[in-house]
């Protein structure tokens, strides 16, 4: 059985998510627990690196990612650092002969990205980017249907990724608001995801016509500070895009979408059918088929929901009928139990809750047997 030892570089918001996901993979696919291990972690500071190694349960931590690259027991690095460090770390990792898994966006600009693509090719290492939204089963089904000609000639497409993450002018400066650290604003951060999905499903864009805007031009330098600093990246990016065959689409990207928690969606309209995906309902791909029978009262036409649910090829657990969030819900349920033990508090849902449900179920059985209402105490 092959094994892989990963060096995790960066352990902020997404680093933790990657670490948890590596631990889950053996359970999903029935692999030995030691087939995938995080062998070391690096951040920018000794304390955060040590804290990370304690959370992950790995023996090695460093405040210099080069220390990970120097280790023989690391096969691959996972880069979860701000965008302005991806180029340097990828080049160093490729030179060290490590395989590379890197967060999006790949780079600060095309010149950097070209050098990185060349470096991993020259070093002959495996290199993958984290365009994670591709991996919803509904997206795989959409790709399959498009390939099979389900929508026919694509008339137009529409993608959007709106979040409300920056609507408060009190939200302070961070690396995501500085071009020197991020390369671009909402366009790079959120846009890279929805643009990748459209590219994955429909192929290359041949031309774009976009307008970017910054709606809050200065922000506090720190939480609660009256001192402000300029924001030099976009908050919104709206664009028209064309595919090489002339097909026209629109893409809306915004961090200023009031009320939009994580509003990623797309529609693809064709002469035979249409597809819709909404991240709020990731278990379903919505499809419309013009070949469905029509009649004066509507026949059978209309958008239908295909149950993509959790259909991952080769997955052992959970079974495919479970929603994509099923594992997370179990983790939360278990965490609430463990926290109650640690804090010496009553856990919930309790055995009293279980007893109540038991009474309802038993009453339902008695009611069915006797053919009458059963009153619950």
Ligand X SMILES: NC(=O)c1ccc[n+]([C@@H]2O[C@H](COP(=O)([O-])OP(=O)(O)OC[C@H]3O[C@@H](n4cnc5c(N)ncnc54)[C@H](O)[C@@H]3O)[C@@H](O)[C@H]2O)c1
Can you give the binding site for ligand X, defined by CB under 6 A? 9-15, 42-44, 48, 65, 80-83, 85, 103-104, 130, 132, 189
Rounded to the nearest whole angstrom, what is the least distance from the CB of residue 43 to ligand X in the complex? 4
Give the C-alpha separation, 15 to 183, whole Å: 20
Closer to ligand X by CB, 15 or 249: give it.
15
- The tokens for 15 are 């680093």
Rounded to the nearest whole angstrom, what is the least distance from the CB of residue 266 to ligand X in the complex? 17
Closer to ligand X by CB, 51 or 250: give it.
51
CA 256 to chain centre: 19
Over the range 222-249, which residues count as b (16 or more CB within 10 Å of their CB) and which as e? Answer: eeeeeeeeebebbbbbbbebebeeebeb
Closer to ligand X by CB, 130 or 247: give it.
130
In the block, residue with structure tokens 């001192």: 227
Rounded to the nearest whole angstrom, what is the least distance from the CB of residue 15 to ligand X in the complex? 6
Closer to ligand X by CB, 89 or 241: give it.
89
Rounded to the nearest whole angstrom, what is the least distance from the CB of residue 213 to ligand X in the complex? 21
Closer to ligand X by CB, 182 or 247: give it.
182
Task: Tell me the residue nearest to ligand X as measured from the CB.
Answer: 12
C-alpha distances out from residue 345 to 256, 329, 333, 334, 338, Å: 40, 21, 15, 14, 10
Closer to ligand X by CB, 11 or 101: give it.
11
Rounded to the nearest whole angstrom, what is the least distance from the CB of residue 127 to ligand X in the complex? 15
Closer to ligand X by CB, 18 or 286: give it.
18
Give the C-alpha separation, 268 to 364, whole Å: 46
Over the range 14-44, which residues count as b (16 or more CB within 10 Å of their CB) and which as e? Answer: bbeebbeebeeebebeeeeeeebbbbbbbbe
Closer to ligand X by CB, 145 or 197: give it.
197
**Short-list 103, 127, 284, 261, CA closest to 196:** 103
Rounded to the nearest whole angstrom, what is the least distance from the CB of residue 93 to ligand X in the complex? 11
Closer to ligand X by CB, 261 or 348: give it.
261
Rounded to the nearest whole angstrom, what is the least distance from the CB of residue 44 to ligand X in the complex? 4
Q: How many CA atoms lie within 13 A of 74 on its CB side?
A: 31
Rounded to the nearest whole angstrom, what is the least distance from the CB of residue 207 to ligand X in the complex? 26
Rounded to the nearest whole angstrom, what is the least distance from the CB of residue 174 to ligand X in the complex? 7
In the block, residue with structure tokens 């990748």: 196
Q: In sequence order, what E strands does the chain have?
A: 4-9, 36-42, 60-62, 76-79, 99-102, 127-129, 154-162, 207-213, 218-220, 228-230, 236-242, 248-254, 263-270, 273-278, 284-289, 304-307
Rounded to the nearest whole angstrom, what is the least distance from the CB of residue 154 to ligand X in the complex? 27
DSSP output for 155-185: EEEEEEEE--TT--TTSPP-GGG-HHHHSSS
Q: Cβ distance 264 to 164 under 8 Å?
A: no
**Short-list 47, 25, 29, 27, CA closest to 38:** 25
Closer to ligand X by CB, 9 or 56: give it.
9
């Amino acid at each position: 059985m092959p094994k892989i030892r990963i060096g995790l570089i960066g352990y902020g918001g997404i680093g933790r998510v990657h670490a948890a996901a590596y631990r889950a993979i053996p359970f999903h696919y029935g692999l030995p627990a030691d087939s995938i291990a995080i062998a070391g972690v690096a951040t920018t500071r000794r304390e955060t690196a040590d804290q990370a190694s304690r959370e992950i349960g790995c023996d090695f931590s460093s405040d210099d990612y080069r220390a990970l690259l120097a280790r023989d027991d690391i096969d691959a690095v996972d880069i979860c650092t701000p965008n302005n460090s991806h180029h340097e770390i990828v080049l160093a990792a490729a030179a060290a002969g490590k395989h590379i898994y890197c967060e999006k966006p790949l780079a600060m600009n095309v010149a950097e990205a070209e050098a990185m693509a060349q470096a991993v090719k020259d070093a002959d290492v495996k290199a993958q980017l984290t365009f994670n939204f591709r991996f919803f089963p509904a997206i795989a089904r959409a790709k399959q249907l498009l390939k099979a000609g389900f929508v026919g000639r694509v008339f137009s497409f529409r993608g959007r990724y709106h979040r409300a993450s920056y609507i408060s002018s009190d939200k302070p400066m961070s690396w995501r608001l500085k071009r020197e650290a991020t390369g671009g604003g909402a366009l790079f951060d959120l846009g890279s995801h929805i643009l990748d999905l459209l590219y994955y499903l429909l192929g290359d864009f041949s031309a774009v016509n976009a307008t970017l805007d910054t709606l809050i031009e200065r922000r506090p330098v720190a939480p609660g500070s009256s001192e402000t600093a300029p924001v030099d990246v976009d908050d919104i990016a709206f664009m028209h895009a064309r595919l090489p065959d002339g097909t026209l689409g629109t893409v809306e990207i915004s961090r200023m979408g009031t009320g939009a928690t994580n509003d990623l969606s797309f529609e693809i309209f064709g002469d035979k059918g249409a597809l819709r995906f909404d991240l709020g309902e990731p278990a379903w791909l919505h499809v419309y088929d013009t070949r469905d029978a029509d009649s004066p009262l509507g026949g059978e036409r209309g958008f239908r929901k295909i149950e993509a649910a959790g259909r991952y090829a080769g997955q052992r657990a959970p079974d495919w009928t479970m929603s994509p969030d099923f594992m997370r819900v179990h983790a939360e349920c278990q965490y609430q139990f463990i926290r109650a033990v640690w804090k010496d508090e009553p856990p919930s849902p309790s055995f009293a809750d279980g007893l109540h449900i038991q009474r309802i179920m038993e009453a339902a059985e008695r009611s069915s047997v006797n053919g009458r209402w059963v009153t619950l105490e």
